[in-house]
Structure 1
Amino acid sequence: MNDVKKFKYFTVSSLAFGTWRIGGGYWYASHSMDNQWVSAIKRAIELGIRVIDTAEMYGNGHAEELVGEAIKEFSREDLFIVSKVWPSHADYDNVIKSAKNSSKRIGSYIDLYLLHAPSRVPICKTIKAFERLVDDGVIRFFGLSNFDVDGIERAVECSSKYDIVAIQNHYSLLNRDDERKALSYAEQNGLMYMAYTPLENSTLSSNEFLANIGKKYGKTATQVALNWYISRNNVIPIVKATKIPHVEENAGAMGWRLSEEDWKAIDAHFREKSYFLDKLISSLKSIRPWT
């Protein structure tokens, strides 16, 4: 399915496959579902989801290993692999070490390398390491995750050789605060904005309003929600699925577009409702680390 977005330095699929909780969790590995996880990643790639998002923290590196296993039978040039370095590894030497370890686990260079969240390490030291990694061919591009505009601008000031090309933050129809902040900055500056948790842990998948709009297109609420993000020029939603039918449903969000009228109706509907406080808080039963 050829549904792509073009940015200054690269062209990527309009949807990304996320690997949080694949291969384990917060710095611990699990091998209990390796075959299923690899199959899910492979199916996503087959269906045109060519952006794969992972991190050294996910499964203590095991998610990266599973990505590496899954991509072996595909042309590497057709894929866009994203990984992230944890904030406690943000000093120069540890960034270099972490990136090389991630690259080894994936079995390839990394297309986009992100600082997973703000760190106590001065950002210029991290950016300097990122630029070294580009020079060495370990990564192609770099960016930031969970950063506000002030933090992004400080990082941009540190970049002397290469541009920051992407921001990855929490954004959804239920959590729209970033529209006035980092998302707006990304749009104005031509950066790719990767939106994690776009379905809010399946809350939007059962939304009646979205389901009713989906009937016009023969699409599910999930597919309508994902297409709403895809329809924004620079937004790439990151969505995870571990079962093939769910992967296929997610991929069905690509290859078509909501009408302008329906896009605006969804936009207005979720602005008028207090979904974030009323529904999201009740669904988050435990605090989790950055995705």
Structure 2
Amino acid sequence: MVLGYQYLFFTFRLRHLSVALIFRVMAELKYFKKMDRWLPVLGQGTWGVGGGFWSKDTSMDEEWEAALKRGIELGMTLIDTAEMYGAGHSEEIVGRAISGFERDNLFIVSKVWPTHARYDDVVKAAEASMRRLGTYIDLYLIHWPPTEIPLCETMRGLESVVSRGYAKFIGVSNFGLELIEEARSCLSREDIVAVENKFSLLDRRDEDTVIPYAEKEGMLYLAYTPLEKGQLSMDSFLADIGKKYGKTATQVALNWLIVINPVVPIPKASSIKHVEENAGAMGWRLSQEDWRLISERFRELKA
């Protein structure tokens, strides 16, 4: 279950008019064969950043943007967003946050909502996401399985997004194993390189199904809600384990996930304080004994 990892120095360039500031970020990375790419072991999620379910909120734009920037500085260069988040405003905030960084060192994920699952609508949605982000999309996902549109039509739309240069890779979100395989069978030019599902110590439905499949196929597995909306951050058992490492319960819960081969957790980047705490999950490892102890402790618990 444990993947060899490495540290690389990324050089970022911040562009401010005529001033170029160069700084270096040490990033802890995992390799994903399907993309032939190294990615950070921890990313940044943006659900709730810029609003909620198709509803825009601009009240904390500066704070959200600053948090995302700080996360990038700390090596969390993978950012997950979606057209649904804040009715697209989340993508706008992400676009502003990343605008001063070297684009090749970032990995931007966005998602199309199932109401836009028809072939032409998938393409239009990707175009709109690109405009809001101000750049291309690295990984474009169908957010949930479509219920009224044939899955193969949606997947062909995703293929078109890649052929048009709007995205580099495609994948799925909230898909079970059988549906992932069905989606792959629809494709002729591209392949699914990633799946994004809910996974945490308290929600382990994919532990013996999708995650081993992703590992075998060289896919990325993005784990959303890895802290169960703060529930794990307050867990006394994790806090006690953390004392051995000088880490918080949050950092222990995230590190437990990082150890699992294809998994990259994407906790919410809501504030600089939270982002900095999240980043403390990188650069160290739970012992095998502690990892197993935590695993067994939470195996029967439910979120």
TM-score bin, normalised by smaller chain:
over 0.9
- Displacement of 1:184 in angstroms is 2.6
Q: Distance in 1 between matches of 2:134 and 2:250?
A: 32
Counterparts of 1:116 and 1:143 in 2: how far apart (Å)? 9
Aligned with residue 128 of structure 2, among 101, 110, 133: 101
SS in 2 for 1:141: strand
**Count of aligned residue pairs for this structure pair:** 275
Q: Report 1:181-196 matches (<5 A).
A: 181-196=209-224
What letter matches 1:143 in structure 2?
A: G
Extract unaligned runs of 5+ from structure 1.
281-291
Do structure 1's residue 118 and structure 2's residue 145 form an aligned pair?
yes
Give the Cα–Cα distance (whole angstroms) in 2 for the partners of residues 193 and 139 of structure 1: 18
Post-superposition Cα deviations, 1:237-267, rounded to whole Å, max 9, x if no partner, equal: 0101322111100001011111111111111
> Counterpart of 1:69 in 2: which secondary structure?
helix
Separation of aligned partners in 1, 2:131 and 2:31: 28
Percent identity reads: 56
C-alpha RMSD of the superposition: 0.9
214-223 vs 236-245, greater mean Cα deviation: 236-245
- Check if 1:176 corresponds to 2:204: yes
Query: TM-score normalised to the size of structure 2?
Result: 0.89
Partner of 1:227: 255
Residue 85 of structure 1 is matched in structure 2 by: 112
Q: 1:160-180 CA distances to partner (integer Å, 9 max, x unpaired)?
A: 111100000011110111112
Matched, 1:32 2:80: no
Give, as a single letter, the amino acid of the residue that structure 2 aligns with 1:259: S
Q: Which residue of 1 aligns with 2:79?
A: 52
Deviations 1:207-239 (A, max 9, x none): 111111111111001001100100111100010
1:158 aligns with 2:201: no
CA distance in 2, matches of 1:131, 1:244: 36
Match of 2:43 in 1: 16
What SS does the corresponding residue of 1:74 show, helix, strand or coil? coil
1:138 and 2:138 are equivalent in the alignment: no
Structure 1 SS opposite 2:70: helix
Q: Unpaired segments of 5 or more residues in structure 2?
A: 1-25
User: Partner of 2:20 in structure 1?
Assistant: none
Tell me the secondary structure at the aligned position of residue 84 of structure 1: strand
The superposition leaves residues 68-89 of structure 1 with CA deviations (integer Å, 9 ceiling, x where unpaired) of: 0000110000100000000010
Matched, 1:2 2:27: yes
SS in 2 for 1:185: helix
Q: Residue 188 of structure 1: CA displacement?
A: 2.3
Match of 1:209 among 227, 237, 241: 237
Alpha-carbon shift at residue 5 of structure 1 (Å): 0.8
- 1:260-281 deviation digits (Å, cap 9, x = unpaired): 111111111111x4x31xxx3x
Deviates more, 1:122-131 or 1:163-172: 122-131
- Kept in 1, the 8 Å contact 2:27–2:76? The answer is no
Whole-angstrom CA distance in 1 between matches of 2:176 and 2:149 = 16
Name the CA distance, whole Å, in 2 between partners of 1:170 and 1:109: 25
| 2:280 alignment counterpart | 252
Contact 2:81 2:109 (C-alpha < 8 Å) held by counterparts: yes
Residue 175 of structure 2 is matched in structure 1 by: 147
Partner of 2:228: 200
